[in-house]
Amino acid sequence: MTHPIDLAVIGGSGLYQFPGLTNTSRQRIDTPYGPASGDVVTGDFAGRRIAFLARHGESHSLPPHRVNYRANLWALHHLGARQVVGVNAVGGIRGDMGPRVIVVPDQVIDYTHGRFTSFCDVDGAEVRHIDFSEPYTASLRLALLDAANKAGIAAIDGGCYGATQGPRLETRAEIARMKRDGCDLVGMTGMPEAALARELGLDYACLALVANFAAGCGDEAEISIEEIFAHLKAATEAVPPILAELLKS
């Protein structure tokens, strides 16, 4: 490959284009699993070559349960990516994980249903039982945390991401249950993305951007979508400098 991919980035809500990319090209990848969320944009950033894909589409047209996670991961792998950072908008359950906080989680609980969760979900495919004890690649997690530190950006090390179905937000009772289960964050796109990356042998880590306190965890009687996107916009500004430091290493 003429331009090897040093890092692939999957952008979540609020991150539909990657700022600072130069020498860009767009590719629509045909996959055995149908269309990806959109074109994969490759370009130069911090002296390296990255691939960027907007998980929900560049116009946020795909709700979490309609994202073709298999096609997205397959397309990035097909282009030569071996390391993937998933940027995810989340709600905070733990008290220190409030709006605009950045977290690099280390565990996940999957509450989703009805999604294609494996590349084995195809007739004739080999059935593979991956080890998913640690759902995120430890070396990439630590590199992200180190990069955030070098960029002067606070990031919390560890936490359990609870993945819900969406697109609706959760009830107070559901969040209370998740808290009892040990979840620190709640989001709608963390799974099956992490598991599919593991099946493909990709290094994968999550950069979670807290947009709001989850239901019943903050002072607000009702969660405001406008406030969510305002917090997301502010938190998203930290993504390029963190990834720039990651690529330098």
Q: Annotated binding site for substrate: which residue ranges? A: 188, 212-214
Question: Annotated binding site: which residue ranges?
Answer: 13, 55-56, 188-189, 212-214
**Neighbouring-strand partners of residue 83:** 203
- Torsion, Cα 114 115 117 120, to 10 degrees, reads 80
The contacts of residue 121 (CB under 8 Å, 6+ apart) are none
Rg, C-alpha atoms of the chain: 17
Question: Residue ranges of the alpha helices (H) in 36-171?
Answer: 69-78, 138-150
Question: Annotated binding site for phosphate: which residue ranges?
Answer: 13, 55-56, 189
Cα gap 118→228, rounded to integer Å: 31
